[in-house]
Amino acid sequence: MSRRNTAKKRTLFSDPIYNSKIITMLTARLLKNGKKGLAQKIIYRSLEIIEEKTKNDSMEILEKAIRNATPLVEVKARRIGGSTYQVPVEVRAYRGTSLALKWLTKFAVNRTGKNISVKLANEIIDSSRETGNTIRKKEETHRMAEANKAFAHYRY
C-alpha cells in the first residue's frame, strides 16, 4: 500500500451479454491464469442452468443471492496497547458485494461435483433461498461481530 496516494477506483465495464457490472465482478473473482473468456463461459452456462432449474430470470436470482450473502458488519483486527482486538466495523456497499461474490465463488469451487458451472449455479440458487455455505459464512461473520460488540469503541 502506497504511503502517498490512495489507489483510485477503476471503472467497471458491463459484460457484453447481460449488460451487468455484477457479472463483470463475478468474472474477476472466478478468473484463473488470465482466462477471462473461459470464466465468462462458465458464468453464462451457470446462469442458463439457473434458468432451467428455477424457471425464473437468472439475473434476478443472482442479485437476490448476492443481496442475501452480503454482510452488514465484519470484524477487523486492531492492535491497542500490546493486545489485538477484533473490532466490529460496518461494511460499505462495494466491499459487501465483493465479499459476497468472493464467498460464492469459493464455496462453489469447494462443492462436490464435476462441472464448475453446475456447482456455481447450485451455490447461487442456495444463496437465493438463504441456505448453503455462503449464507453460513455471512451469519458466522455477523456472530463474530456481535460477540465482539464490546470493542466497538475502538473503531477507527
Residue 136 has what pLDDT? 96
The DSSP code for 19 is: -
Query: In the predicted model, what is the mean pLDDT of residues 16-34?
Result: 93
Domains in the chain: ranges and CATH: 21-154 (1.10.455.10)
pLDDT for res 1: 61
For the stretch 111-138, pLDDT in tens is: 998 999 999 999 999 999 999 999 999 9
CA–CA separation, 67 vs 18, rounded Å?
Answer: 18
Grid-cell match 461474490, residue found: 101
Query: Is the pTM for the entire model greater than 0.75?
Result: yes
Quick one: average pLDDT of 58-86? 94
At 152, the pLDDT band (50, 70, 90 cuts) reads: confident
pLDDT average, residue stretch 60-65: 95
Question: 151: pLDDT confidence band, cut at 50, 70 and 90?
Answer: confident
Task: Tell me the per-residue pLDDT of 36-50, one tens digit each, with 9 for 90 and over.
Answer: 999 999 999 999 999
Cell of 70: 452480503
Q: Is 54 exposed, middle or buried (0-12, 13-18, 19+ CB in 10 A)?
A: middle
Between CA 24 and CA 134 the distance in angstroms is 20
